Amino acid sequence: MALAKRFEELEVWQTARELTRQVYAVSNKGEFARDFGLRDQLRRAAVSIMSNIAEGFESGTHPLFIKFLGYAKGSAGEVRAQLYVALDAGYLAPEEVAALQDMAKKCSGQLTRLILYLQAHPTAVREDGVAYETNVST
C-alpha cells in the first residue's frame, strides 16, 4: 500500500466524498427535501464518513487513525439504515436506494481493509522530505 501524504489521496475518502455528493443530490428533491429531520440526519451521517477519515488521518497517530476509521465505518452503517427509512417513506426508488447502499457498502469494505492493514503494519508519518517510522502496536 502506497503511503498517502494527504487524506484526499485515500481511495476510501474519495469513495466517501462521492457517496456524500450523491446523498446530497437525492435528498434535495421532492418530499425528501422537506423532511428536514431525515434529510439532515442522512447528510450528517454521510459527511461523518469523510470527516472521520480526514480527522483520523490528520491526527498523525496510528491508534487514533484506526479509531476514527471505526467511527467512519459506523457512519457508513448509519447511512445504509437511513436509506431504508427514505425508501419506506417513499422518498427514494428502490434502485436509488440500492445504488447508494452499494456505495456505502463499498466504503465500509474499504474502511475494513484499511483498518486491517493498519493493524497489521507499522505506520509511517511523513512530512515533506522527512519520514518517521514508528512501530506502535494497537
Q: Which domain holds residue 24?
A: 8-133
Q: What is the pLDDT of residue 47?
A: 98
Report the domain count for the chain: 1
Confidence label for 17 from pLDDT (cuts 50, 70 and 90): very high
Confidence label for 137 from pLDDT (cuts 50, 70 and 90): very low
User: Does 89 map to a domain?
Assistant: yes
Q: What is the pLDDT of residue 132?
A: 37
pLDDT digits (tens, 9 = 90+) for 65-80: 999 999 999 999 999 9
Answer with the residue of higher pLDDT: 41 or 136. Answer: 41
Answer with the residue of higher pLDDT: 5 or 77. Answer: 77
Q: How many CA atoms lie within 13 A of 47 on its CB side?
A: 7
From CA 103, how far away is CA 15, in angstroms rounded? 8
User: Does 22 map to a domain?
Assistant: yes
Which amino acid would we find at residue 135? N
User: Does 54 map to a domain?
Assistant: yes
User: Does 2 map to a domain?
Assistant: no
Confidence label for 125 from pLDDT (cuts 50, 70 and 90): very low
Q: What is the pLDDT of residue 2?
A: 58
Chain-centroid distance of CA 115 in Å reads 12
Q: ∠ at Cα 132 (69, 112), nearest 5°? A: 20
User: Does 138 map to a domain?
Assistant: no
User: Does 24 map to a domain?
Assistant: yes
Percent of the chain with pLDDT over 90: 78
CATH code of residue 36: 1.20.1440.60
The pLDDT of 22-41, averaged and rounded, is 97
User: Does 21 map to a domain?
Assistant: yes
User: Does 115 map to a domain?
Assistant: yes
Is the predicted pLDDT of residue 30 greater than 70, yes or no?
A: yes
